[in-house]
Amino acid sequence: MPDTIFTYYKHALFTIESSTGIRVGTDPYDRSIKRILPDVGADIVTVSHHHFDHENISLFKGKPVVVDSTEGRSISGVSISGISTFHDEEGGRLRGKNIIFRIIVDGITFTHFGDLGHDLDREQIGKLEGIDVMMIPIGGKYTIDAAIALKLISKIEPKVAIPMHYKSSDTLLDVDTVDNFIRMAGNYKFVGPSVSISRETLPSGTEVWVMEPG
């Protein structure tokens, strides 16, 4: 079976392409985040919350199915379900709700944390057992910061943890860079913006992968 292709387009935008060619996109941004938008298509798009930098569905070529609720769904062999969380530490009073999406493609469990703004309780962490690939915000200010992200990575123990939602060279949003996160993480590796993975090639213990230079 061909591998799953996993690509990072910065901010909170990833694509997961299955072995059969079905593409899942996450949280597409607009030109308020990057002046130059990526050329990318998707069959399914997850939207963790309806803010300008996460819901630009028109970015994707084609007419993707949009998933923006926690309801469990199966679409073209891709299983998607959500966990309701908040965009801030005050129960959503400041920035509203957020969805953590659990996306199963080719037997690999990907989990996109959207703009999570708080630590998770025991019940929420219990729902996240068995994660293979975790995409977690680290930029602070509007989301959790590096310290909370690393705490959650330690509790959940995914096979792969990938930082997102941080300031890179062309990011217009004022959030932290990846530097503090990788300094605190200690062990990490840069894998490039796109990787080919399978269940057989996933690490046995947790690894931190950085998918672009800071």
Boundaries of every domain in the chain:
4-210
pLDDT of residue 171: 87
- Ranges of residues in the chain whose predicted pLDDT is under 70: 1, 213-214
pLDDT of residue 55: 92
CA 186 – CA 175 distance, rounded (Å):
21
Strand (E) positions, 19-96? 23-26, 40-41, 44-46, 60-61, 65-67, 73-75, 78-86
pLDDT of residue 1: 61
pLDDT of residue 213: 58
Q: How many helices (H) and strands (E) does the chain have?
A: 3, 16
User: Which of 75, 71, 72 has the alpha carbon at shortest distance from 25?
Assistant: 75
pLDDT of residue 93: 82
CA end-to-end span of the chain, whole Å?
33
CB 166 within 8 A of CB 177: yes
pLDDT tens-digit series, residues 37-57: 999 999 999 999 998 888 999
pLDDT tens-digit series, residues 15-36: 999 999 999 999 999 999 999 9
Question: Which homologous superfamily does the CATH classification assign to the domain defined by 4-210?
Answer: Ribonuclease Z/Hydroxyacylglutathione hydrolase-like (3.60.15.10)
